[in-house]
Amino acid sequence: MEPASTTLAQSEDMNSSMPEDSVPESSAMAKSLEDLHQQLEELHQQVDQKGMLRSVEPPTNDEGRSAVDPQSLPGAYAESAFRRGSNPQPRRRSSYNSCVGSSSGHQEESTSSSRETGVQQHENTIATSHDDEEAATATLVNAELAPADYEDIVAERDELRQKMDSIPEAKALPQRKKISVWIWVVSVVVLVAALIVAIYVSVTATGLDDTASTTKENNTHLNDPFWTSKKLGQTLTGVENFDEFGESLALSGNGQTVAVGGEEAVEFRGRVVVYRLDDSHQPEWQQLGSEIVGDMQGDESGRVTLASSGKTLAIGGIGAWTEGGGDKAGRVRTYRLREEDGQEATWEPFGQVIEGTHASERVGMDVQFSADGSILSVGAPGAVETNRTGMDVGAARVFRYNETTDRWDKMGQELHGIKELDFFGHMTALSEDGLVLAAGGYGFDANGERSGVVRVYDFDAQSSLWKQRGPDFYGENTKDEVGRSISLSSDGRTIAFGAFKHNNGTGRVYVHHWEDSGEWKQMGQPVDGFKEGDRLGRSVYLSGDGSVMAIGAVWNDDVGVRGGHVRVFQWNSNATNESWEQVGPPIRGNANEWFGRRISISRDGTTLAIGGPFHLNPAGAKVGKVEVYSLP
C-alpha cells in the first residue's frame, strides 16, 4: 500500500503546482489531439476495409533520409512517409506480408523489387513457387486510399502539437497520465494480493474445521497460528448484584446444553438456569424451562451437573437447613426435562431429596453424573466420619437411581478423609459408566499444611465396595491445595488435577494415565502458570478421550487484576517427545472477573464453557457471566 499512496501524493502535488489557467487549456488541447488521432485511426480502418495497404520502406539517400518525395506517394502513404522523417519506419507491414504468404524468399524478392522501382500504387497478383512446384497466388484488391482531407487533419494535428509544446505546464500532462496508470496498476496488484491472502486464510480455516475431529490423533493443531476459538452465542449473565452467576456450570455431552448456577442469587437462595443452543440462524442460547430457585434464604442452591443428554439435572444447595442435619447440612435435588409438543419445557423433580445428616456437612458442594444420569457422586467436605472426632474430615458419597422405587440408593460405602480439616469430597469426578470415582481433599497435609490429596477408586460389583486404585496423589509443597479441581476421562483411565497455589500461586496441573500394567504413569511434564499469582489449576477439565485439556488461571492479570484466563492444551503423543502443547492463545476475561473459576468441556472436546462469577454489568453490579466457545 505504501507505493500506491506515495505515487498518489506525488500526483496530487503535481496537480496543485500547475497554474489554474494553463491546465484547462492544455487539457483541452490534449483532448483535441486525442480526437484527431481517433479520426486518423478511423481513416486507416476505412483503407484497410477497402484494400490492403502495402507498407514498404522507401529507399534512403546517403544522408539516411527518404529518397522518395512524400508528395509523390498516394494518400495515406504520403502521410506515413512524412511522419517518419529522417528515420522512416514502416507503419504497417503485416498486411503486405500476409499477402505474399509464408515464403521468406518471395518476401525478399518483392521487397527488393519495390526498392528498385519505388512504391507501386496498385498490384494485382503475386505468384510464388514452393518446393513442390505448386503455384500459390495472393490477390491484392485495388485500394481506395484516404480521402483528400487527410492531409488537412495531419496539419491540424501538428499545429496543435507545436502549440502544446509552447506551454511548459502541458508537458506534465503525459507524466500525470503515466502516474495515473501506475496508481491503477499498483492498486490492482495490491487488491489481487489481498484477495489471494484472504482466500488462503479462508481455505486454511475451512481445512482446520474439517479436520477438527482428527487432529486429536495427528496433532496438526499444535502451535497452529490459525487455531482460534469462536464464541458461541451471546454472553450469559446474572441478574442482580452478587449473583455469582457462573460459580458452577455444566455442559451436556454434545455441548448444545449448558446449566449455570449462581448460589448467592435471590438473597442467597441460589438460582439455576439451563440453556439450549439454537443455531438455526445465528447461534443463540435459549432458556430451557423455568429457572430453578432455592427454597429458603441461605440455601445457596447452585452447584450443578448434567447427564450427557442434557435432560437430567442435579443441583446442590450447600447452605440448606435440613430437619435431620440442621444448619448448612446441605441437600441435592434431581430433575428431568419434560418436553411436549406445543407446551413449554419444564424441569420436574424425581427421586428423593438427598440431605446432609450433620450440621455444616455442606452436602452438594460437588455433584457429578455418569453419562446416562443413573449414578450420582455427591461431595460433603464438612462431613464427620462415624466414630471419629473433629470437623471437616469430609466425605464422598455415590448413589444409584432405582427406577422401581424412584429413589437414590447408596452405591458402596461412604469414602472419608483421614483427619480433621482434610475437606475430602470438596471435588469429585466420575467416569462415563460411573464405576470409577476420583475425590480430593485439599486440606490434607502429607507434604506440609494443606498440600492436598487426590484418590481414585474402582467400584467392585462383587463386593459392592469402592477399592482404591493405586497410591494417593499428594501436593508437592505446603499450601499447594491439590484436590480443589479434578477431571476424569470417559473411561476413567486418565486423571487431571490442579495445585493452584503451587509456587507462590503460579499454579500447576498434573495428568496421569492408568497403564495396563496396573500403575499410574505421568503424562508429560506438569503444566505451570505463566507467573506468580496466576493460580493456574483452580479449574481443570478433560475431553472424553483425555486428549484435550482446558485449565483455568483465575488470577491471571494479562487484561486486568484477577481477570483470569483459560488455556487449552492438546496431548502430543509423539513417541520421542510426549507432552501437553498449548493450542491457540488463552481465552481471557476482564479485570476482577475470576474468569475460568469454573469450566466444562463437551465429550468430543470441541465446546468449552467458562464462568466468570464476579463479572460486572454496565451498571456496576457484580452479576457474573458464562461464555461458551467452539474449539477447532
- Angle, helices 22-50/75-84, rounded to nearest 10 degrees: 130
Based on the fold, state whether residues 116 and 28 are members of the same structural domain: yes
Q: How many residues does the chain have?
A: 632
Is residue 10 classed as helix, strand or coil in its secondary structure?
A: helix
Q: Of 182, 217, 250, which marks where a domain is finished?
A: 182
Residue 355 lies in a domain: yes
Q: Do 151 and 238 lie in a common domain?
A: no
Residues 378 and 459 in one domain: yes
pLDDT digits (tens, 9 = 90+) for 233-267: 999 999 999 999 999 999 999 999 999 999 999 99
Cα–Cα distances (Å) from 263 to 130, 245, 248, 287, 333, in that order, read: 103, 8, 8, 18, 14
Angle between helices 2-17 and 172-210 (to 10 degrees): 160
108 falls in which pLDDT band (50, 70, 90)?
Answer: very low
pLDDT surpasses 50 at 146: no
In percent, how much of the chain has pLDDT > 70? 65
Query: 494-499 and 508-514: which strand pairing?
Result: antiparallel
Q: Is 453 exposed, middle or buried (0-12, 13-18, 19+ CB in 10 A)?
A: buried
Point out the domain boundary residue: 182, 211, 241.
182
Q: Final residue of a domain: which of 182, 215, 238?
A: 182
Q: How many Cβ atoms from other residues are within 10 Å of residue 231's Cβ? A: 12
**Tell me, what's the pLDDT at 191?**
80
Same domain, 88 and 177: yes
Tally of structural domains, the chain:
2
Kindly state the average pLDDT of the residues 148-152.
Answer: 55
| Sign of the alpha-carbon dihedral angle for 387, 390, 393, 397 | positive
Residues 605 and 254: their CA atoms lie apart, in Å, by 9
Higher pLDDT, 604 or 119: 604
Beta-strand (E) ranges in 431-534? Answer: 436-441, 453-460, 465-468, 473-474, 486-488, 494-499, 508-514, 520-522, 527-528
pLDDT in tens, 456-475: 999 999 999 999 999 999 99
Same structural domain, 494 and 576: yes
348 φ/ψ sector (left φ>0, alpha ψ -120 to 50, else beta) = beta
Is the pLDDT assigned to residue 32 strictly greater than 90? no
Q: Which of 94-98, 160-164, 461-465, 593-597 has the lowest mean pLDDT?
A: 94-98
Whole-number average pLDDT of the chain = 79
Compute the distance between CA of residue 427 and CA of residue 366 in angstroms, rounded to an integer. 6
Residue 158 pLDDT: 62
Check whether residue 25 and residue 103 sit in a common domain: yes
C-alpha cell at 141: 484488391
Q: What is the full DSSP assignment across 50-106?
A: HSPPP--PPPB-TTSSBSS-GGGS-HHHHHHHHHHTTS---S--HHHHHHH-S-HHH
Residue 141 sits in the same domain as residue 243: no
Band (pLDDT 50/70/90 cuts) for residue 103 is very low
Separation of CA 303 from chain center:
32
State whether 272 and 151 are in the same domain: no
Query: Other C-beta atoms within 10 Å of 139: how many?
Result: 10
Residue 218 belongs to some domain of the structure: no
Q: For the whole model, what pTM was predicted?
A: 0.67
Minimal CA–CA distance to 296: which of 270, 260, 327? Answer: 270
User: Between these two residues, 34 and 502, which has the higher pLDDT value?
Assistant: 502
Mean pLDDT of 480-491: 99
The answer, yes or no, to whether residue 83 has pLDDT greater than 50, is no
Does residue 31 sit within a domain? yes
Q: Convert the pLDDT of each residue in 572-620 to its tens digit.
A: 988 678 999 999 999 999 999 999 999 999 999 999 999 999 999 999 9
Same domain, 168 and 279: no
Q: Are residues 382 and 440 in the same domain?
A: yes
Pair 21, 78 in one domain: yes
Give the residue, 611 or 22, on which the prediction is more confident: 611
Distances (CA, A) of 195 to 2, 184, 199, 207: 17, 16, 6, 18
User: Given the C-alpha cell 467452539, which residue does it identify?
Assistant: 630
Q: Is residue 586 part of a domain?
A: yes
**Within 13 Å of residue 290, how many CA atoms lie on the same side as its CB?**
9
**Whole-angstrom distance, CA of residue 40 vs CA of residue 186:** 33
Residue 137 and residue 262 share a domain? no
- Residues with Cβ within 8 Å of residue 96, at least 6 apart in sequence: 52, 54, 55, 56, 110
- Residue 445 forms part of a structural domain: yes
Read off the pLDDT band of 376 (50, 70, 90). Answer: very high
Residue of 76, 82, 117, 79 lying closest to 95 (CA atoms):
76
* Cα dihedral across residues 300, 304, 310, 311: positive or negative: negative
319-361 pLDDT, tens digit per residue, is: 999 999 999 999 999 999 999 988 999 999 999 999 999 999 9
Q: Is the pLDDT of residue 549 over 50?
A: yes
Domain that holds residue 347: 230-630
| 200 in any annotated domain | no
**What is the domain-level CATH number for residue 499?**
2.130.10.130
- Whether residue 190 is contained in a domain is answered as no
Segment 486-499 shows an average pLDDT of 99
How many C-beta neighbours within 10 Å does residue 610 have?
28
198 belongs to a structural domain: no
Residue 390's contacts (CB-CB under 8 Å, 6 or more residues apart) are: 384, 419, 420, 421
- Please give the pLDDT value at position 314: 99
Q: Where are the beta strands (DSSP E) in 163-218?
A: none
List, in sequence order, the alpha helices (H) in 473-576: 502-505
- In tens, the pLDDT along 550-570 reads 999 999 999 999 999 999 999
- Contact residues for 458 (Cβ-Cβ < 8 A; gap 6+): 435, 436, 466, 467, 469, 492
- The string of DSSP letters for 123-135 reads --EEEEE-TT--E
- pLDDT band of residue 153 (cuts 50, 70, 90) is low
